[in-house]
Chains A and B, each alone.
Chain A
């Protein structure tokens, strides 16, 4: 008697857990993990899973079904209801232009979502990260307003991020082509506060001064993409994401003015080729020119492009303790769109593996993809080196 495939029970439990996490954790968990957060609109975050991270992929063109807002076409290749959650701890060492060094760490959840078959295709709801803006900077000084010099410490904090909630639909058109569209709503908030403290409690009774502002972000984004199998061994995919302008509206007591930012159209293309039964090669490119944001920015930040590419290989038939455990290696290089000096760059070498915990036929009912990245960001005198892990949990139900 053939062993019975895991019933919907396991997958349903995992999916329910994912939905709970989606509901209660939310992508607001995005936290500061780069000094470049201080520049312009911050550092873009990519809502990609552990497999794409391990392959150095920019979120498009991988084999099988995929669940990333950057690849709507791949959504149509999912055949069963699916839930996904990605967690991403990071450990980073940095050096500032002044030579100061330090370390930070944090965790974010860049991708949460569920997909459900409907109307002959697949409907999805995804929550992903878009921009990370957290940072803090301090300045000390001495002032004398008539009662002797007093040391002051100015502490500026920026606490904010932008996430997107996507509603997508994709379906197969024939056997080789899948097309999808996604409507996304960008939302988030930004708190900026400057706190000046005078001396310490023992030397002065001058209270701290706090000037702050809180803004809410809103924008829409429309993404369309197709994924086509050129042959049984080759797949290509393209997507275009066209956002509206990003409106930042201050809350009632915010003295700072409201603003509107131009967001770039992002073009993505990717391909994967099965070179041999055990070896898959993938490549992807991203074109995203943020330079139009420059006219909307104040201060010293420079807006550039995020263009980049990624390549990777997957040893798809590697086995471990009798199980198929694909091994992945990748490399990617992208621009850092906001810096204090031109030519900010991010380079990452990555590796990882996948674990299929439960399958039914060729459908993965429960799986884990793990990626470990060693990255380097540089430009404008800033130097960051980081380790980043991405763990994505995928659960499907028949």
Chain B
């Protein structure tokens, strides 16, 4: 009986205890107990005080990785580009309604012709509303989609074979067509039965389509291509049916290949360019009049004071033939072993957005001189501390690159050290007195 009384009593009292167990803290008594107010100040560090050894490396990825075609003729009086396509195996069966009206599988197909349809990229193309003529040819030289360039059909280790004619030649003419942007974003080439037959064997490395621009002064780009095949089925020889063959390889060749800049930063392109620089967060800041007006100088920076750190770059116009037509998305990653460049592995992206830091295309063309900040605050703290939160040493080299490599034939350019818009380091420091006991 007494045990029951004990149990009942404790059971009744328990909720009273725990109903208030959600702990709360009084807030807002006023300014009295607050410690000293921190100072927030921005300071700009010139290149020579935080960075060195800027170097531009190229050759990352291949135009094939882009999965798109670029064609140009004397664009900006300079750039020529042609695209090469190779197709997957053609369909070997088709469902056909026979003379009795029954649908049956027919594996005896005769290809009698077709059409190559290109889906043009209206944003990446520079012709605007101007119609341009394109030519479709058939390659006759063995080529390797990964290593083919304007000069070489194959350029692998111990196997370098030039084209018979520079730029993917010689090629047999197949058809020409006009792309009128006002009429749509597709271009259709008629393909004869002989060419269709030639392209039907993807294991023959000499086969393929070469597409070039006939009108000079433009650079155009297509996002995809489809080969529409006209086939005569054995079950209904009086009927032509249309089947699809998809692109297996697509790449582009261009000339001239840009040379690396001697006084600037380059990011992007196909193959891609990366810019590497050594970085050190200054441990002591002194001499900046605005900074020293609010903080006692010299000031020794501690990692926790860095509230914001960014590399501030100034855009410059890229070479005219390689100016972007769409936004360039920049990324920053630590270089884990600079001595292994250009093949050093890179660390994780320091840019918070998965799509990188977007910079409008006109910053590298019509309106250069724009200042672009690429933040890497947490990395700057780790760099000053010498190690990250896991205790691993922080690499002192950064790579500036495109989020996706390659992303476009065009690339971003920025002023380099020694120029008017040389890269600078922007720091926002929050400096406060130590928290003391009451």
- Tell me the smallest distance from the CB of A169 to a CB of chain B, in Å: 30
Contact check, A300 vs B32: say whether CB atoms are below 8 A apart.
Answer: yes
- Asked if A295 lies at the interface with its beta carbon under 8 angstroms from chain B, I say no
Which residues of the other chain, B, contact A205 by a CB distance below 8 angstroms? 308, 352, 375, 377
- Asked if A24 lies at the interface with its beta carbon under 8 angstroms from chain B, I say no
- Tell me the smallest distance from the CB of A24 to a CB of chain B, in Å: 15
- Tell me the smallest distance from the CB of B40 to a CB of chain A, in Å: 5
Which residues of the other chain, A, contact B435 by a CB distance below 8 angstroms? 192-194, 211-213, 255-256
Contact check, A299 vs B438: say whether CB atoms are below 8 A apart.
Answer: yes
- Separation of A259 and B436 alpha carbons in the complex (Å): 9
Contact check, A211 vs B33: say whether CB atoms are below 8 A apart.
Answer: no
- Asked if B41 lies at the interface with its beta carbon under 8 angstroms from chain A, I say yes
Contact check, A34 vs B20: say whether CB atoms are below 8 A apart.
Answer: no
Contact check, A146 vs B42: say whether CB atoms are below 8 A apart.
Answer: yes
- Tell me the smallest distance from the CB of A208 to a CB of chain B, in Å: 7
Contact check, B25 vs A32: say whether CB atoms are below 8 A apart.
Answer: yes
Contact check, B428 vs A39: say whether CB atoms are below 8 A apart.
Answer: no
Contact check, B305 vs A209: say whether CB atoms are below 8 A apart.
Answer: yes
Contact check, A39 vs B33: say whether CB atoms are below 8 A apart.
Answer: yes
- Separation of A213 and B433 alpha carbons in the complex (Å): 11
Chain A, Cβ-Cβ closest to B20: A89
User: If A104-B24, A156-B35 touch, does A370 touch B432 (CB 8 Å cutoff)?
Assistant: no
Q: Which of B6, B32, B38, B307 contacts A299 (CB 8 A)?
A: B32
User: If A31-B25, A37-B26, A145-B40 touch, does A106 touch B304 (CB 8 Å cutoff)?
Assistant: no
Which residues of the other chain, B, contact A40 by a CB distance below 8 angstroms? 438
Chain A, Cβ-Cβ closest to B44: A146
Contact check, A297 vs B9: say whether CB atoms are below 8 A apart.
Answer: no
Q: Mark B3-39, 1 if CB is under 8 A from A, else 0.
A: 1011001100100111111111111111111110110
Chain A, Cβ-Cβ closest to B291: A145
Contact check, A196 vs B40: say whether CB atoms are below 8 A apart.
Answer: yes
- Asked if A136 lies at the interface with its beta carbon under 8 angstroms from chain B, I say yes
- Asked if A340 lies at the interface with its beta carbon under 8 angstroms from chain B, I say yes
Q: Mark B103-134, 1 if CB is under 8 A from A, else 0.
A: 00000000000000000000000000000000
Q: Main SS of chain A's interface residues?
A: strand
| B-side interface size class | 35 or more
- Asked if A105 lies at the interface with its beta carbon under 8 angstroms from chain B, I say yes
- Tell me the smallest distance from the CB of A201 to a CB of chain B, in Å: 10
- Tell me the smallest distance from the CB of A39 to a CB of chain B, in Å: 7
Contact check, B434 vs A10: say whether CB atoms are below 8 A apart.
Answer: no
Q: Mark A94-113, 1 if CB is under 8 A from B, else 0.
A: 10111010111111000000
Instruction: Count A-side interface residues using an 8 Å CB cutoff.
Output: 82
Contact check, B17 vs A87: say whether CB atoms are below 8 A apart.
Answer: yes
Which residues of the other chain, B, contact A103 by a CB distance below 8 angstroms? 24
Contact check, B23 vs A107: say whether CB atoms are below 8 A apart.
Answer: yes
- Tell me the smallest distance from the CB of B300 to a CB of chain A, in Å: 12
Contact check, B29 vs A135: say whether CB atoms are below 8 A apart.
Answer: yes
Tell which of B17, B19, B41, B432 has the most Cβ of chain A within 10 Å. Answer: B17
Residues 246-287 (chain A) with a chain B CB within 8 angstroms: 248, 254-257, 259
Q: Which of B21, B27, B32, B430 contacts A89 (CB 8 A)?
A: B21
Chain B, Cβ-Cβ closest to A293: B438
Contact check, A35 vs B308: say whether CB atoms are below 8 A apart.
Answer: no
- Tell me the smallest distance from the CB of B437 to a CB of chain A, in Å: 5
Which residues of the other chain, B, contact A6 by a CB distance below 8 angstroms? 2-3
- Asked if A327 lies at the interface with its beta carbon under 8 angstroms from chain B, I say no
- Asked if A382 lies at the interface with its beta carbon under 8 angstroms from chain B, I say yes
- Separation of A32 and B40 alpha carbons in the complex (Å): 31
Chain B, Cβ-Cβ closest to A150: B40
Chain A, Cβ-Cβ closest to B16: A389
Tell which of A32, A38, A301 has the most Cβ of chain B within 10 Å. Answer: A38
Q: Which of A104, A141, A257, A340 contacts B436 (CB 8 A)?
A: A257
- Separation of A366 and B37 alpha carbons in the complex (Å): 54
User: If A137-B29, A207-B377, A368-B9 touch, does A107 touch B38 (CB 8 Å cutoff)?
Assistant: no
User: If A89-B21, A107-B20, A107-B23 touch, does A210 touch B304 (CB 8 Å cutoff)?
Assistant: yes
User: If A106-B24, A194-B35, A194-B38 touch, does A206 touch B438 (CB 8 Å cutoff)?
Assistant: no
Which residues of the other chain, B, contact A141 by a CB distance below 8 angstroms? 37
Q: Which of B32, B304, B437 contacts A256 (CB 8 A)?
A: B437
Q: Which of A32, A156, A198, A366 contacts B26 (CB 8 A)?
A: A32
Contact check, A135 vs B26: say whether CB atoms are below 8 A apart.
Answer: yes
- Tell me the smallest distance from the CB of B299 to a CB of chain A, in Å: 15
- Separation of A6 and B2 alpha carbons in the complex (Å): 8
User: If A137-B33, A207-B307, A391-B17 touch, does A102 touch B26 (CB 8 Å cutoff)?
Assistant: yes
Which residues of the other chain, B, contact A14 by a CB distance below 8 angstroms? 6
Contact check, B25 vs A393: say whether CB atoms are below 8 A apart.
Answer: no
Contact check, A211 vs B38: say whether CB atoms are below 8 A apart.
Answer: yes
Contact check, A38 vs B33: say whether CB atoms are below 8 A apart.
Answer: yes
- Tell me the smallest distance from the CB of A219 to a CB of chain B, in Å: 14
Which residues of the other chain, B, contact A358 by a CB distance below 8 angstroms? 2, 6
Contact check, A357 vs B5: say whether CB atoms are below 8 A apart.
Answer: yes
- Separation of A389 and B6 alpha carbons in the complex (Å): 19
- Separation of A370 and B24 alpha carbons in the complex (Å): 23
Contact check, A391 vs B13: say whether CB atoms are below 8 A apart.
Answer: yes
Contact check, B21 vs A137: say whether CB atoms are below 8 A apart.
Answer: no
- Tell me the smallest distance from the CB of B25 to a CB of chain A, in Å: 4
Residues 385-438 (chain B) with a chain A CB within 8 angstroms: 428, 430, 432-438
- Tell me the smallest distance from the CB of A397 to a CB of chain B, in Å: 14
Contact check, A137 vs B28: say whether CB atoms are below 8 A apart.
Answer: yes
- Separation of A63 and B342 alpha carbons in the complex (Å): 86
Q: Which of B16, B25, B42, B306 contacts A145 (CB 8 A)?
A: B42
- Asked if A143 lies at the interface with its beta carbon under 8 angstroms from chain B, I say yes
User: If A102-B28, A135-B26 touch, does A107 touch B21 (CB 8 Å cutoff)?
Assistant: yes
Q: Mark A35-47, 1 if CB is under 8 A from B, else 0.
A: 1011111000000
- Tell me the smallest distance from the CB of B358 to a CB of chain A, in Å: 14
- Separation of A31 and B6 alpha carbons in the complex (Å): 29
Which residues of the other chain, A, contact B436 by a CB distance below 8 angstroms? 192, 213, 256-257, 298
Q: Mark B360-380, 1 if CB is under 8 A from A, else 0.
A: 000000000000000101100
- Separation of A83 and B198 alpha carbons in the complex (Å): 96
Contact check, A357 vs B35: say whether CB atoms are below 8 A apart.
Answer: no
- Separation of A194 and B41 alpha carbons in the complex (Å): 17
- Separation of A259 and B13 alpha carbons in the complex (Å): 42
Which residues of the other chain, A, contact B37 by a CB distance below 8 angstroms? 139, 141, 154
User: If A96-B29, A143-B40 touch, does A154 touch B34 (CB 8 Å cutoff)?
Assistant: yes
- Tell me the smallest distance from the CB of B316 to a CB of chain A, in Å: 23
- Separation of A224 and B121 alpha carbons in the complex (Å): 91
Chain A, Cβ-Cβ closest to B306: A207
Contact check, B13 vs A207: say whether CB atoms are below 8 A apart.
Answer: no
Please provide the 3 A-B residue pairs with the shortest distance between their CB atoms, ordered closest to farther: A89-B20, A255-B434, A209-B430
Q: A145-B42, A255-B434, A300-B33 are in contact. List 12 more A-B contacts (CB 8 A).
A: A14-B6, A32-B23, A32-B24, A104-B24, A137-B29, A152-B40, A207-B378, A213-B437, A259-B437, A298-B436, A301-B32, A391-B16
Can you list 14 A-B pairs with a CB-CB distance of less than 8 A?
A31-B24, A32-B23, A34-B26, A40-B438, A89-B21, A96-B29, A107-B17, A107-B21, A136-B26, A156-B34, A192-B435, A207-B377, A209-B40, A393-B10
Name B residues whose Cβ lies closer than 8 Å to a Cβ of A.
2-3, 5-6, 9-10, 13, 16-35, 37-38, 40-42, 304-308, 352, 375, 377-378, 428, 430, 432-438
